[in-house]
Amino acid sequence: MSSVYVITGPSGVGKGTLIRALRGQIPNLELSTSATTRAPRAGEEPGVDYHFLDPDEFERRVEAGDFLEHATYSGNRYGTLRSEVDARLARDVPVVLEIEVQGARQIRESMPEAVQIFIAPPSPEALRERLHGRGTDHPEVIDSRLGVAVEELAARGEFPHSIVNDDVDRAAAELAEIVRDCER
Ligand code: ADP
Ligand code: 5GP
């Protein structure tokens, strides 16, 4: 049986970075492309980074039952389309969801067999520095994300696995170890 891996944690903690490293080590893992109502950032490609939907289309798809989970995060909606996950599981391909904490809680209810991994920063200051250093968001957007992060960090104990992303190579190795153990 193939598996679903939920990677969660605050914005800027390095989820995307660690998933890239993980997929370098375990190439058969595929990443679910989420839907969002937020505007594309420079360089983001529709259908690759996200399915960019306008709010009406997002709501229509919520009502149609197309989402496995969905949440409002920092003023925008985000969700995992069932089709992204089902198509992979049908091919027996393990799938990674990179989602925020509210979505992870919904998956915990609807798919208790999914492996849930929380990524934590070495310190709150590191999170702030990484969000600024990434250079993708306006300062007010960063402040909003850091506000949400306070609650997200308090949820760490809910997760069976948590990894401190201090050093990318070390943390990616720990993540790969968890996935290899589950795939055995
Ligand atoms: P997320 O996907 O959780 O929002 P990203 O993967 O985009 O986070 O990482 C946010 C920023 O932090 C990026 O600029 C990334 O290069 C940097 N980063 C990620 N991991 C580390 C680390 N262990 N040490 C220092 N910087 C990191
Ligand atoms: P960003 O705007 O930085 O791409 O994403 C903001 C937050 O939304 C991140 O914590 C990211 O993990 C989360 N996110 C991305 N896709 C989804 C999704 O499909 N569902 C949920 N619940 N959160 C998501």
CA angle 175, 52, 16 (to 5 degrees): 15
Q: Is the pLDDT of residue 109 over 70?
A: yes
Q: What pLDDT does residue 2 have? A: 57
| Strand arrangement, sheet containing 115-120 | 30-31, 95-98, 4-8, 115-120, 161-164
Give the position of tokens 């990677």: 7
Q: What is the mean pLDDT of residues 130-134?
A: 96
Q: What pLDDT does residue 120 have? A: 98
Q: Indicate the top mutation candidate among 72, 73, 131 to test ligand 2's pocket, ranked by most ligand atoms within 8 A of CB.
A: 73
Nearest-angstrom CA–CA distance, 175 and 161: 9
What's the 172 CA to ligand 2 centre distance in angstroms? 20
Per-residue pLDDT of 27-59, as tens digits, reads 999 999 999 999 999 999 999 999 999 999 999
Q: What is the mean pLDDT of residues 159-177?
A: 98
Strands (E), the chain: 4-8, 30-31, 35-36, 51-52, 67-73, 76-81, 95-98, 115-120, 161-164
Q: What is the mean pLDDT of residues 156-184?
A: 96
Q: What pLDDT does residue 1 have? A: 46
In the structure, what pLDDT confidence band is assigned to residue 80 with cuts at 50, 70 and 90?
A: very high
What's the 6 CA to ligand 1 centre distance in angstroms? 17
Q: Check if the beta carbon of residue 127 is closer than 8 Å to that of residue 12.
A: yes
In the structure, what pLDDT confidence band is assigned to residue 179 with cuts at 50, 70 and 90?
A: very high
Residue 67: count other Cβ atoms within 10 Å of its Cβ: 23
Per-residue pLDDT of 5-33, as tens digits, reads 999 999 999 999 999 999 999 999 999 99
Single pTM value for the model: 0.97
Q: What is the mean pLDDT of residues 100-129?
A: 97
What's the 74 CA to ligand 2 centre distance in angstroms? 10
Give the position of tokens 């992303």: 165
